Structure 1
Amino acid sequence: MDPFFAEIVRHIETRCIEAGYWAIVLSSHGQAELEANALDMLRSLKVAGAIIAPLGQASDEELIHQFASEVPTVLCDSRLDGVGVFVGTDNFQTIDLIVDYLSRAGDPPCFVEMPPVNANAYERKDAYVRSMERLGLDPKIIPIVGEGWDFERLGYEQGLRLIASRELPSNTILCANDRIAIGMLAAAYEKGLRVGRGPGSAIRIAGHDDHPLSRFTCPPLTTVSQDYTAIADRSLHILFDAIEHNDAHIPSSQVRLEGKLIMRISA
């Protein structure tokens, strides 16, 4: 249901068809058992190769490692240490980009983290701290209350709590992903706070990912992009190369892609 994954799947399907392959799409729906079942099914179907966006924290890493030793495998979105090639966004580059912009354009940002569902959660928080310290600023991290992948609801509920208690340490909020930021925008609206960087605005809110719906929020969300097309293309390039050379095991490595600052009205 997340448009981020839908966009990646769309690009992968299109390019597989063009290359003469049939793409089989399976979803874990956030459940480790379904992720394990999907791996077993792919193995039984004797697929030529696989691109996996693992759950992350909830994944059976040993199971995925075993699968990747038998089937050419590329991981995207969330990395697992020592498992195949990972293709994803350079969180340290993207977070540094938006922290630098937000700090130059107004109050330095506090950071609303995401639940620790995968490596992105840890990387983006670490990247924020590193960027703030590089600028000689004091990092201010706001833990998210709750678990799971229902990011919009978690952001909305946290936003309501922070605004009602007047506990926001800054008038600029950087959220770990756009979906949390969308929830924060809804909370600010409900509490009567004007979001933006123009006159009369009370708060600035920014995110990360350039979620396909972020340009249509109210106000449109300032963010940093993940390049969906590049993630799909690089993943498939590596996978097709391994299939062509009959290389069942792809050595572990990382391909990190840079993102771009997307300046909109919210910050």
Structure 2
Amino acid sequence: MSGAVLPTIREVARLAGVSVATVSKALNDSGKVSEALRERVDTAARTLGYAPHASARSLRSGATRILGLLVADITNPFFLKLVEHIEQLASAAGYSVILCNSSEDAEREERHLGMLLSQRVDGILLIPVRDSWRGRIGALARLPQPLVLVDRMLDGLEADSVTIDNRMAGYLAGEHLLRLGHRHVAIVMGSPEHPIARHRLDGFREALATGGIALDEQLIARNCFNEEAAYRAVLALLDRAERPTAILATNNHLTLGLLRAVTDRALAMPDALSVIAVDDLPFSAIMRPGLTVVMQPSAAIAEAAISGLLDRIGGRAPEGSARAVVLEPRLAVRGSTAAPPRRA
């Protein structure tokens, strides 16, 4: 209650009829206390609404039971799912989570990291922003706490990581379209300098090559970093004299731009155009037709990240080289893909 005076440990001791030292031992499991006395102390603490001071307790134990989670962009539906799974798993293990949204801003990420260090978090989960800040690799390498990279790797940093096989994600999409009979396909992607986008392109190209199809460079829309950029790129693809029969979007934001462009051009999926995406959107399964996607195993990623971090915190992970967990994506076929339309 606002303005209320918080009860003190002395008041708990007075109500329980024991010493302050006994209250401290009973509440912190730091000494021999009989069950009867422990029950009296617990009852008194609950009656008064007393809780041990977290900062003081962490100074004694060296642990805060708090994890830091830095997310590159909280508006990304895939990252939102990861956050939900991570928080649930951390809570089940007795940890609280401080969530920081970097909004793909390097300065914000650096500032958030400093805040988490000041809060003495026990470990950090980092989905890094695309652009670096001065001294980032060195600062992360010198962290006193365990660190696990999630979804995105950082060149030059030896750290535990949990990612998916992004080459396989692109391959699954290309293989699916190839089996349907598509030969004239396009891809909408971010920067080829970014490893995730590049690996998904490489896998897509590789799958098409198994069927003797060379991906047309004119049908690769590069450097699309948001929904609006993807929207404009897809409109340009659809306005070509020979438009593609299928388009792959390599992440959630680009998928939204792709779907908006298809709607504005009044093209029916999959009769006029097949659409496939990497990452599942909240509405992908309920839209009509449903959206065919290559799904990332968000629950498994979160579980591997949390278990790996807690192993490091608890000293259960072997010292030495960083551990890299790479999980497999899977294809979910829905109604937005089909055989290409016959040309007149």
Aligned to 1:75: 149
Compute the displacement of 1:119 (Å).
2.2
Match of residue 180, structure 2, among 105, 110, 117 = 105
Contact 2:182 2:245 in 1 (8 A): yes
Letter of the 1:163 partner, please give it: L
Letter of the 2:246 partner, please give it: T
Helix, strand or coil: the match of 1:165?
A: coil
Compute the displacement of 1:20 (Å).
1.1
Aligned to 1:51: 125
Helix, strand or coil: the match of 2:98?
A: coil
Helix, strand or coil: the match of 2:108?
A: helix
Distance 1:89 1:61 in 2: 28
Contact 2:267 2:273 in 1 (8 A): yes
Structure 2, gaps ≥5 residues long: 1-74, 338-344
Quick check: 1:122 aligned with 2:195?
Answer: no
**Percentage of matched positions with identical amino acids:** 31
The 5 Å alignment of 1:102-251 reads 102-108=177-183, 109-115=185-191, 118-141=194-217, 142-144=219-221, 148=225, 150=226, 152-166=227-241, 168=243, 170-196=244-270, 201-245=271-315, 251=321
Q: Which moved more, 1:250-259 or 1:183-192?
A: 250-259
Letter of the 2:237 partner, please give it: L
Aligned to 2:58: none
* TM, length-normalised to structure 2: 0.69
Aligned to 1:9: 83
Cα distance change of structure 1 residues 249 and 23 upon mapping to structure 2, 3 Å threshold: farther
Contact 1:72 1:247 in 2 (8 A): no
Aligned to 2:56: none
Distance 2:310 2:137 in 1: 19
Compute the displacement of 1:250 (Å).
7.0
Compute the displacement of 1:246 (Å).
7.8
Distance 2:134 2:332 in 1: 34
Compute the displacement of 1:88 (Å).
1.2
Match of residue 133, structure 2, among 60, 68, 75 = 60
Compute the displacement of 1:147 (Å).
5.3
Q: Which moved more, 1:6-15 or 1:107-116?
A: 107-116
Structure 1, gaps ≥5 residues long: none
Matched pairs, number: 259
Contact 1:48 1:72 in 2 (8 A): yes
* Alpha-carbon displacement from aligned partner over 1:119-173 (angstroms, at most 9, x marks no partner): 211111122222222332111343436654x2x22222222222223353x3111
* TM, length-normalised to structure 1: 0.88
Letter of the 2:126 partner, please give it: I
Match of residue 20, structure 1, among 78, 85, 94 = 94
Distance 2:298 2:214 in 1: 33
Distance 1:139 1:238 in 2: 39
| Greater relative contact order (Cα < 8 A, sep 6+) | 1
CA RMSD of aligned residues (A): 2.3
Helix, strand or coil: the match of 2:122?
A: coil
Distance 2:317 2:135 in 1: 20
Cα distance change of structure 1 residues 259 and 237 upon mapping to structure 2, 3 Å threshold: same
Contact 2:165 2:327 in 1 (8 A): yes
Distance 1:163 1:102 in 2: 18
